[in-house]
Amino acid sequence: MNVSRLRPLRTPGQGPYSGDMPRKGMTLVPGGSFRMGSTAFYPEEGPVFTAEVQSLWVDDHPVTNAAFRRFVASTGHVTIAESAPDPRDFPGADPALLVPGSQVFTPTAGPVPLNDWTRWWCWVPGASWRHPDGPGSTLHGRDLHPVVHVGLEDALAYAAWAGKRLPTEEEWEHAARGGLDGATYAWGEEFMPRGRIMANTWHGRFPCQNLAPHGFTRTSPVRKFRANGYGLYDVTGNVWEWTAARWTDRHPAADRGSQPDDQPAAGASCCAPRATVSEHDRFVIKGGSHLCAPSYCHRYRPAARQGHGPRDTTSHVGFRCVRSA
């Protein structure tokens, strides 16, 4: 018997793809070290430090409704937003209000105080990934939009089904930078180089005036805007993306003490629903969303980060998966 002709054993749980084998819909991002974070915008992005990541397969774009539908059809997964909230998580709440639902962005009729996110986030019973704007809405025409109203556990379940995982924050930021070490945006230093719109972010006065020069007032189909240097789409804007990282108020770094004292004040965020968990129980989301506006929430950058409750589902948070190379 010719032993050398035996095929190598597979690790249990591993699919047909491993190592450097190309994987459909994923791009191999080369590993290396890069400068992570920024001190030019919000304090939670500092200090800048040198991070190192291994080569990594990264989904070309956020998980779409079509892909998430295949996952649900195959597993019967019921998302967090489709399940009634646990009364233990909401002591004192009226049980009649503990029904399945999710937070849906609702534009205001006019300018409102920007320190009060309840003005533009509405808890909508019946909102879920299948009904992104509420019970009357459907996925019709939105197959290629990123799935939204998914919590961290939904993203983890999808990733396990797909034989993938969620990225660490370092992996996500490295991939989003596309090889432009230290750049402000995923494409360089200018927000709109030669007037070109590079991502689905908010144009106009948030949250009442949505000019949508790109034609999208909410999510947009993936791959509508130019890919970054690694060939990854929608790393900026469209939807925030879950990572596997627990939230920290700053980046851990030995040189923390050398940071200037005059850090910019913590900025208000377009993305704030965080009703259910303490600061420390949040996870890092990255990339900003279609609600990030220059005048208000400048988080459409690889260094930007936000802490988000794992079960706080919204109309502007999705995810993409990775796989170790």
CA-CA-CA-CA dihedral for 242, 243, 244, 248, to nearest 10: -110
d(Cα 204, Cα 293) in Å, to the nearest integer?
7
Whole-number minimum distance, CB 291 to Cu ion, in Å?
Answer: 6
**In sequence order, what E strands does the chain have?**
26-29, 32-36, 49-53, 56-59, 101-105, 121-125, 240-246, 283-286, 305-308, 317-318, 322-324
Comparing CB distances to Cu ion, the nearer of 164 and 286 is 286
d(Cα 238, Cα 56) in Å, to the nearest integer?
23
DSSP state of 237: B
Comparing CB distances to Cu ion, the nearer of 4 and 115 is 115
Contact partners, residue 287, CB within 8 Å, separation at least 6: 172, 176, 234, 235, 236, 237, 238, 239, 240, 241, 300, 302, 304
Interface segment toward Cu ion; rule CB under 5 A; list 77-85, 184-192, 231-239, 299-307: 299-307
Whole-number minimum distance, CB 279 to Cu ion, in Å?
Answer: 18
Task: Report how far apart, in Å, the C-alpha atoms of 44 and of each of 7, 248, 283, 311 are.
Answer: 49, 8, 13, 22
d(Cα 304, Cα 190) in Å, to the nearest integer?
16
270 lies in the site for Cu ion, by CB under 5 A: yes
Look at residue 155 and give its three-state secondary structure.
helix
Comparing CB distances to Cu ion, the nearer of 57 and 120 is 120
Binding track, positions 25-54, relative to Cu ion; x by CB under 5 A: ------------------------------
Interface segment toward Cu ion; rule CB under 5 A; list 2-10, 42-50, 157-165, 287-295: 287-295
Q: Which two tokens stand for residue 291?
A: 């609600």
Comparing CB distances to Cu ion, the nearer of 187 and 206 is 206
d(Cα 235, Cα 61) in Å, to the nearest integer?
7
The residue from 177, 286, 299, 305 that contacts Cu ion (CB under 5 A) is: 299
Interface segment toward Cu ion; rule CB under 5 A; list 202-210, 224-232, 273-281, 293-301: 293-301
155 lies in the site for Cu ion, by CB under 5 A: no
Whole-number minimum distance, CB 42 to Cu ion, in Å?
Answer: 10
Task: Report how far apart, in Å, the C-alpha atoms of 13 and of each of 10, 160, 162 are.
Answer: 8, 10, 11
Interface segment toward Cu ion; rule CB under 5 A; list 132-140, 195-203, 227-235, 270-278: 270-278
Comparing CB distances to Cu ion, the nearer of 80 and 270 is 270
d(Cα 245, Cα 151) in Å, to the nearest integer?
14
Whole-number minimum distance, CB 262 to Cu ion, in Å?
Answer: 23
The residue from 51, 292, 317, 322 that contacts Cu ion (CB under 5 A) is: 292
The residue from 297, 317, 321, 322 that contacts Cu ion (CB under 5 A) is: 297
The residue from 147, 271, 303, 325 that contacts Cu ion (CB under 5 A) is: 271
Q: Which two tokens stand for residue 163?
A: 């034989």
Interface segment toward Cu ion; rule CB under 5 A; list 30-38, 148-156, 226-234, 265-273: 265-273
By the criterion CB under 5 A, which residues form the site for Cu ion?
A: 270-271, 292, 297, 299
